[in-house]
Amino acid sequence: MSTTSTSRRARREAGQARYAAVDGYRGFFVVLVVLFHLGVSRLAGGWIGINHFFVFSGFLIARILISEHARTGRISAVAFYVRRLRRVVPAMLVLVAAVLVATLAFGEGAQRRLWGGDAAATLGFFLNWRLADRNDAYFDQFGAPSPLRHAWTLSIEEQFYVVVPFAVLAICMLVRRRAVRAGIVIALAVASAVWTAHLAQTASASRLYYGTDTRVQALLIGVAVGFLLGRGSDGRRPAMLPRTVTEVMGWVGFAVSLSAIFLLDETTQWVYTQGGVLLFAVAAGVIGWSAVDERPSLLNRLMSQRPLPYLGRISYGIYLYHWPIHLWVPLDGAPRWLAGAVQLALTLAVAMASYRWLEEPVMRHGLRGLRLPARIRRWTLGPALAALVAGAVLLWSTPEPALSSRQPDLVAGQPAYDTGRGPQRIAVLGDSVAQQLVHDLPKDRYPGLSVSDQTREGCDLLPATATTGEKDIPLQGPCRTTLESWPGQARQDRSQVVLLFAWTMLAYPHHGPDGQVTRPPDAAYRGVIEHGLEGLLARTRTAGASQLHLVTLPCRDLPKDETTGQSDASAADLARVRDVVRDPTWVNGVLKGWAARHPDVVRLIDLQAATCPQGYVAQRGGITLFADRAHFSRDAAPMVWKWLLPQIQQAYAPVQ
């Protein structure tokens, strides 16, 4: 592959590859994604818009590469990478620098490690895999998310860009027919969809959402459309379909996309299990096909109206800056619509300035476009980039508190762990809170202890269906698999005790046996919880464990959240959910009452009393308890286990 610079003609054609309607669509969908992130819950499927960005990106990139090969017989990988770096890196560096400064100024130990690692992963374009590895819950309503969480999309695109020029070149060299070229890429997209459906049976929601292998199908559909509409081996473009056909294609693709945004939500499983990602990628692909038809079209004319094309041109900055602005300018106490309007206005202002004075100059002229003296460019920008990388790595590697006998106690005067006493084989059951604790268990401190991890992110252990009052939250496939398999796995591991952590979904309303919605503090909901616990106790016996140890919910510190775009009933239910998460006294009271009726086999371990006996506290012994308002921090986890394991020993002793 040639490493020569792109010719002037190639640059002209790259510039012509931008179409007003395509920009209009990009502007339209980025606004929907931003509004979804800002709390407009009626756009619950707004995350599908990200799929469209991938398709449009793959399409536009492929057209440029295909045109270059048709004209010159080669593709300059170096020139391609330079163009991509010029487009992506400048604004990304500003974002990462802002996050690092904020982390240094306001972050604590656990948060510094978390956000520093996210910054390093963003700079290295592997953030999506980092988020998947730590089971980051993209739709979590209760945590304190990373200000770089949204940058996972950049990682997927850049990973794809490493491969795409070589893939396009290989296909162009080996295959002459345009339809066959596109067919090869479509086959790869279908393979990605099939793999995603297979993975959805066991993988976590985070793995499905962030994985490059599950998302690449959208980029591939864009490339396939690029082949279908690009120059062939003879250098000619294909004959256009009839104008009516392309216009109908545009309307159909647009209608399918809008229906997804308004009708889907984060609980919709068929998007992954039955090819939904591929379906909406195809919808975006036919939108792109229609958008580049320069013949008169009502839909293209609508999408070409100001300010949509301009918003499309600055969509990268809008997407990049909106999330930290949303987190850092929360405007607590203000109506949600007002806070969202202010955050959106700030986002647009920052994105416009970034595009005008940073992104566009660098895209056109490289670093010379910044109009800085050569000496400053030479001696300041390089070291600044190195400083960003070094700062991110240093924060990422902030040392954790040493695990020693001097580890602070969670509760004053708590008993010590007695090695070899009590149960040595424990099965842990719960959601991502329990999962994170198991992950951060300092195993070297407890020789002989064996923990069977039966936790599952976001898993509701009640047999009843959770709901927000108007919208049900179905049980996901991996959670259902865990609920079916854990007794057998615990029996295989010869677990003596099942340690059941109360799960966050207990705060949500659930359907009762008669189908009616029950919620805290209804007596009917008490019955739903107790029925679910009876089932878990029966499965504990099936697992061969002698006792079920039930750990109560801790209290949390959640900011006031007023959602917009919801019905009064749904908003009221979600407000009650947050109230229960803040103060789980009623739910824990139900757990205590049920445990008291099974004194021989059930033991209650009161984590709420240990962590917040008189209300929420942020730290204990100088250690921050929660990393993100939901999960215990990596610093606090050893302290929790130091308290918890002796509680298990004491509770188990009477039946030895």
Q: Quote the pLDDT of residue 48.
A: 81
Among residues of the chain, what percentage have pLDDT more than 70?
Answer: 85
Q: Is 365 found in the same domain as 478? A: no
Q: Is residue 121 part of a domain?
A: no
User: E-strand spans in 200-355?
Assistant: none
Q: Is residue 139 part of a domain?
A: no
Q: Is 514 found in the same domain as 553? A: yes
Q: Quote the pLDDT of residue 347.
A: 92
State mean pLDDT over 599-623: 88
Q: Is residue 140 part of a domain?
A: no
Q: Measure the CA–CA gap between 376 and 366, rounded to whole angstroms.
A: 14
Q: Is residue 146 part of a domain?
A: no
Q: Measure the CA–CA gap between 492 and 26, rounded to whole angstroms.
A: 52
CATH number at 435 reads: 3.40.50.1110
467 pLDDT band, cuts 50/70/90, is confident
Q: Quote the pLDDT of residue 266.
A: 67
Q: Which residue in 641, 319, 621, 300 sits closest to 449, CA to CA?
A: 641
Q: Quote the pLDDT of residue 647.
A: 92
- Other CB atoms within 10 Å distance of the CB of residue 346: 16
478 pLDDT band, cuts 50/70/90, is confident
Q: Which residue in 66, 262, 267, 273 sits closest to 175, CA to CA?
A: 66
Q: Is 363 found in the same domain as 228? A: yes
Q: Quote the pLDDT of residue 537.
A: 93
Least confident of 55-69, 312-326, 395-409: 395-409
State mean pLDDT over 279-305: 88
Q: Is 453 found in the same domain as 338? A: no
State mean pLDDT over 461-490: 82
| DSSP-assigned letters across all residues of 384-453 | HHHHHHHHHHHHHTPPPPP-STTSPPSSTTPPPP-TT-S-SEEEEE-SHHHHHHHHT--GGGSTT-EEEE
Q: Measure the CA–CA gap between 55 and 299, rounded to whole angstroms.
A: 19
Task: For residue range 388-404, list pLDDT tens digits in order.
Answer: 666 666 665 655 554 44
End-to-end Cα spacing for the chain: 72
Q: Is 388 found in the same domain as 503? A: no
Domain span at residue 158? Answer: 8-105+154-396
Q: Is 387 found in the same domain as 484? A: no
Q: Is residue 145 part of a domain?
A: no
128 pLDDT band, cuts 50/70/90, is very high
Q: Is 450 found in the same domain as 382? A: no
Q: Which residue in 150, 25, 163, 7 sits closest to 84, CA to CA?
A: 163
Q: Is residue 138 part of a domain?
A: no
Q: Quote the pLDDT of residue 614.
A: 85
383 pLDDT band, cuts 50/70/90, is low
Q: Is 250 found in the same domain as 374? A: yes
The yes-or-no verdict on residue 12 having pLDDT over 50 is: no
Q: Is 322 found in the same domain as 181? A: yes
158 pLDDT band, cuts 50/70/90, is very high
Q: Is 172 found in the same domain as 313? A: yes
Task: For residue range 512-522, list pLDDT tens digits in order.
Answer: 888 888 889 88
Domain count of the fold of the chain: 2
State mean pLDDT over 611-638: 85
Q: Measure the CA–CA gap between 57 and 242, rounded to whole angstroms.
A: 25
Q: Are 500 and 429 in contact (CB under 8 A)?
A: yes
Task: For residue range 169-191, list pLDDT tens digits in order.
Answer: 999 888 888 888 999 999 999 99
Q: Quote the pLDDT of residue 10.
A: 43
Task: For residue range 358-372, list pLDDT tens digits in order.
Answer: 888 887 776 666 666
Maximum Cα interatomic distance, the chain, rounded to a whole number of Å: 84
The yes-or-no verdict on residue 2 having pLDDT over 50 is: no
Q: Is residue 127 part of a domain?
A: no
Q: Is 441 found in the same domain as 315? A: no
1 pLDDT band, cuts 50/70/90, is very low
Q: Which residues contact 197 (CB under 8 A, 6 or more apart)?
A: 272, 273, 274, 275
Q: Is residue 554 part of a domain?
A: yes
Q: Which residues contact 204 (CB under 8 A, 6 or more apart)?
A: 132, 135, 456, 457, 458, 478
Q: Is 373 found in the same domain as 495? A: no
Burial bucket for residue 618 (CB in 10 Å: 0-12, 13-18, 19+): exposed
Least confident of 34-43, 291-300, 493-502, 546-555: 34-43
